[in-house]
Every structure is written in C-alpha cells, then in structure tokens.
Structure 1
Amino acid sequence: MAWHNRYIDSIANSGLRITIEFKRQDLLWVSPKPIAHPRTGEDIFLPLRLTEKVAVSPNVLDIVKREPAIVEEEVEEIAANGSKQKIKRSVEKLVWRLRQPHEFFPQKPEEYAEEHPFSKSLCTGGTVVSEDKEFIAVKKRSTVSINSLVYRLAVGMTGSETEATRYIGRIAADAWEGDNDRAVKLYKLICQAKIGYVLDEKVPPQLKASASIGQIVESVVLRTACLWMGIDPNKPLKRQRGRPRTRSQDEDGNATRAGEVIQLTLQPDETVTGKLIADFLGLPKETNLAILTLSKLAEILVMLCDRELTTDAELLEAYLEAVDPDWRTKVAAEIGLEDNNEEKTNPWIILGLTSDASLEKVKAAYRKIMRQVHPDTSGLPTWYAQTVNDAYRQLLEELGDA
C-alpha cells in the first residue's frame, strides 16, 4: 500500500523523474463524534465543510497508523518443578491503531493550513462525490512521480505525450482506489479490535503496504511494454548461459565461429556462409541461412536477443551485414514499410492481413511484426515501428477495442 509519498524517499534526482498530474478519488473520514480543538476547546465535526461542495478531513490512509508499542502477551513457561504455566510479560511490538484526535492538529508553525485548523500533512480535501456514515468520497487533483525513462516508454506505446499522461493517470487513479479499499478493510479490522489495536503480525499481508503509487505505475507500464514487444513478463528469468561453443575450422579447413544456434564460415573467396547448428524457431538443424528471407532472418535475430543468446545474435547480425549491408531497409520492404504510398499506409496491408481478420489475429500479427521492426532489437529506424504502431491503433479503433 502506498500510504502517501511522505513514507517514500522523495529526494529529487535531477532529470531522472517526472511528475504527472491526474484526478482521483479520496475517502475522507467521518468522525463518529465531534473532535475538540486542543487549544480552543471548540467542537469540530469531521469532515469540515469549506463550501457546499468542498470538504476536508483526514482520509482513510491518515486515520490508521503503524507504530511500535509495549503490549502484554501471554507465554508458556516451564517452572522449576517441571510444570508448565502461563505468564504475562510486556514486550515491544509493531501495532496498527487509529490516530487520536489531537494528532490531527498541527504541532509546528509550518504544519498549519490557511483554510482549516488541521495539520496539512494529515488532512486533505476535494469536491464531494458521495457519502455514507464512515467516509465521504471526494474528487481531487493529485500527482505521481515516475522514472522519466518509463514515461518515455509510455509515450512510445501510446503515440503521444498527451495520451501517455492520460494512460499513466488512469493507472495511478486505479492504484489509489485499490489503496483506499485495502485501507478501509484495515480501518474496520482495527475498529473491531477490543484492545484498540491490531498486532502487525496479525494483519493479513494483502492489507499492508507493498509499493508506492509511483512504483505501481512503473510496474504496470513496464509489464505492458513487455507484452507490447511480445515478451512474456511472467517468464522466469534464466541465468546467463555458459561460454558458447566455438569451432576454429570446418572439415575443409575454413575458419568458422559458432554459438549455440548459428555457425558462420569464412570461405576462401572471403565470402561468409552460415547455417543453423540446432533446431530453432521451427527450422531444422543444418538449415542454410542463404535460403531464408531477410524478414525471417530478422525474426530469428530478435528471438536470439530475446533468449539472451548474445553470441549467436552477433554472428547473425555479422552475417546480414556481410551478405547485404542494406539489409535493414530491405527487411522493411519485405514487410511492406518501404514507402508511404496509399497501399502501404493501409493498416490491414501493413500488418499483412485481410480486412476480415479477427481482433485476435490483428493482435497476433502486430506482436509478430513489432518483434521484427522494434528499433531496440532490429536496428531499423524508429519510423518503421511507429508506422506499425499507428496501423495497429487504427485497427483497434475500427474493431472496437481501443
């Protein structure tokens, strides 16, 4: 659970983080009885109405607090005569409790707010949306801080800064809603405790803090980016493979080099030939690279990178450069992105589909082609990937899945 940015180290890293503004809902606490101002003695009802539509109060995240406390616990002890007996002892443990009313009032001058008598850090407000006996839902503006590179990734996936900001805002708002739901459950759990608190060890893990809102946003964006590039974010990570196999010469005495999948041979005329030395991507061992299309070779290159077969990827890229220095442009031509004429701007043609293709086929085709043209793995210019991305979004809108 986030429990506000005051619990997160927010030291600014110049240029490394960016702040996004968004709208979200908050839950303001309704006090069961008036709270006495510790200095004036005035009774204050919470939430405090600033206007007909605007209210302020501690929110559900402010009401609950985790802190160390001395508690009595019963333990079993073996007496000198060998008998077992239960005794009580005082120990320090972490507990969850509700804040006391006086804690909501400022203790230092810098904690005072102009519009209400409560501490700025333990009171929030917004436009009232709905209300019940325990909480009032309000709308308010908020911000989330995320890594600037994650933001750029979101811009790349959505196509613009405006869409990326909206996308991140929706994720952050959903994360806050989840935090509020968990906090309400924890609040009710504490209210039901006869001793006034709940031991931290007794609180279900799903009701405790797990990440800041910013961390949740970053995780969602990164997982989505993995899927966007055809990478399974749930796939277990494997350790780096051992040293690749190498072969200094083939049976004819020609110099060779091999990884786990690719073997290249330098011929006497200084041309390079290559073949598969293991089954890969549906192709059998001993397949001659020369019989494969450039787009198929590009697909193999991306898969080698995905599987962290670094040596094989380097060998295949060296083969492509040797047989055709202009291979990147020609790969784009093979998949229909070499120019901007009317035919090649048709989203169905760009994804290699007919207009009667299903939504599932559109998504599958998009993932496959993006693996071939994504600039981080293919080396192709970024506009190739942007063209595919634009075509995909257009088809999603046409098929009603935008």
Structure 2
Amino acid sequence: MRVLGIKQPVLIFMIIGLIFYVHRVYVKSGYEDAAGSKKEVEDPRVIKSLSDLETSVSHLYNLLKAFEQKQDTMQKLLEEDVEQRRKAAEVVQPPVQKLPEQKEEPKAKIEEKQETPVKKKSNKLFPDSPLFKEWGGNLSADEQREAQSLFDKYGYNVFLSDRLPLDRAIADTRDKRCLKKTYPKDLPSIGVVLIYLNEGLSILKRALRSIIDRTPKNLLKEIILVDDNSSNGVYVSSESHYATAKSCFFVQMPMLLEHNHGIDIGNVTERKELRKRLNCKSFKWYLENVYPKLDPLDNVVAYGGMKNLDTNMCIDQGPVPGNTPIAYNCHYYGPQMTYFRSNGELYIGGIKSHKYNDNRCIADIGNKETEPGLFNCREALQKKMGIYWDFTQGKELKNRETKRCLEIKKDTLVIQECSGQRWEVQHIIKAF
C-alpha cells in the first residue's frame, strides 16, 4: 500500500505540468496578430477556462491528500493486527525445552569412521602364491586353479599369455644410439633358431609372429625350431607361420619321435607330412652342419626341482658365487632347477647347452666331509670328487663312489650314511 504513497509526488508533478501546458496553449490562442498590429486582444473564454482548471486541480489535490491519510490509517491498522497475532502465538506455543548439550565427537574419531573402509574378504584361493600377489583378483575360482596349475608347470603366467594377442604391440627397447644407426639395403639373409624345452604354446607362437612381423622379408631366410626333448608333447607347426620364410626346419630330439617313452604326444602324422613336404632336415643333420658346438643333452632323463619327501624341502644352489648347495623351501625357480643325466651327473642351478662350457655338478667331496659341494664337473673329476649318483624316483640319492647319501638334517643339506630319506624330481623325460 506504501507504493501508492511513493507515486503521489510524481502524479502532482504531472498535473502541474499539464496546467502549464494548457495555460500556454490558451494564452497563445488568445493573441491575435492583425497585419503588423501589436494590440493584444483578450478573450473572456480563456480566462474562464483557466479559472475552471485551477478549481479542478485544487479539488484533485484535496482528494489525493485525503487518500494519503486513509492509506496511513490502514497501514497502522495492519501493523496492529500483526502485533496481536504475534502475541497470541507466543501464548499458545509452549516454551522450547533446551536439549542437553551434546559433546562434540573428536575430529580424529569422525575421520576414522568416515575413512576406515570395510575390509573385504579375500577371494584368492592361493594368497601365498607369487602369481597372485599383484594379479588375478578378478578371476573366478576355476580360473584361479587353472592359472596356478599352469604356473606350477611352467614357472610363469601362461594363463595370461594364452589370452594375449599374438601380434600385441611392444615397446621399442633398443638403445637410442641404435635408433640413429642406418643400415645398407643389401644385407645378407638370416636364419632364426628357436630352441625350446617344455615351453608354453602361446609363447612360441608369439615369438614366431614377432620374428615374421618385425623382420624384413628380404632378410628372413629360414626359421629353425628345435624341440629340446620336451616332455609335454607341445609342437608348433603351422604353414601360415612359415609362409613368409623361404624354408623351415622343425626338429625334435630323435628319441621323442622314434620312441614313445610313456609320453602321449598325440597323432603327429600331419606334422611328419609337413616336415616331408617342406624338406625339413633331421636333428642329426642340424647338429653336424649348423650347430656342431651344441651339446644334444640326449641323456638327460629328468629335470626340475628335486624335493625331499621327508622334509618337504628342495635342493638349492645356495649363494652365488659359492660352492655349497643348501636345503631351501621349494619354489622351483632357476636356483632349484636340477638336471639328472643317465650317467649319474646331477646339475643344479641351470644347464649349459654348449660343449665348450661346463655344468656344475653336486659332489661328495669325501674325506669325511659332511657338506656337499657344487663344482664344475671337469674340476670335480680332476680333484677325484664323487659326481655320479644312483637315483630312482621316490627313493634315496646315493653317491656311487662313497656309498653315502644326500639328505637333509635339521634343515641343512648334508652327506651322511643313508637313513632312507626319499627324493622326487619334478619332471621325468624317460624311465631310468
């Protein structure tokens, strides 16, 4: 209602302006200009009109003033009504009871409640396995069992390898200086040799794909795959893989194809026909003409971790450099890899594939020593150490010369009189 009061001065100003305007019009029309005459003629009608207008304006002003008084009265009544309602509300509404003061919870406890996550129960079936330390949390129970089984067999994540594309992109890890180096176009052709032993099939396929995709076609002459007496019956033979190379040599240790030593290698007829069609050479020809310095290792009859069944510990090569093997919890990685040859030599920690290198044999030093030794085989023979062992799977491991056994006593690997401790090697190639 106060809005009308604010507009009142504006309205009065407009009325006064209207009076001046009308006055000017009537005054102007009341003058008569007669042929240069300056005589002013006064019209009685103009005077009467101005008097009537003044009376009307005075009346209008009185009305506005009366309206303003009425407006003030209504505003006062409205304010009194609001005050009465406020007092009535205070009488009806009961007083607000003051709640007991609540102690503020320490900030540290509040943050602890908000930030402490609910610990989820682990769904890993093999929480102590190195394979699942930083991988495999989203696998189902069956997938975890399959992945762990493959890991135990190969020593690396074959489960994941089998699911990666064969032509996956890989980073260029060459030295920066190599990237700046230029090569002539008329380079000689090359042959690539892949020697494998019980390797995962996807690993071999990916290696072949990488060789073919990343080697200029004019340089790649041949790819030679050498199955170094695998016991798992895995073969890689695909004509599509070899189409880019001019020739392929796919060879295995002779005994694997000519004699089936209890290993189910499946139907290899197609593979034999492929070898014949591609005119693949024999392994004997390969050793004599291509790689004469390679030790065929054709008398290796067992390999892998050598586990003591009575203590559940394995033979380990121990600190390197060093000449003392030890007993250690079984993990079946490189330091625990053993190779047993039919002549009785037992290698630990790896095997050399060239004739000019020497493997390290576990030896009974003799002279009442109870600590076994680990020496180059030729060196041990020259020092007349006992490097030949009699062993049958699941039975004792006895030295041929000293007739003493390799055993574990108080978590220590020792040479002592045989007490009947049993040993088991991880993989058998052929009976011995």
- TM-score bin (small chain): under 0.3
TM-score using structure 2 length: 0.21
Larger radius of gyration: 2
Q: Write 1 or 2 for the structure with the bigger share of strand.
A: 1
TM-score using structure 1 length: 0.22
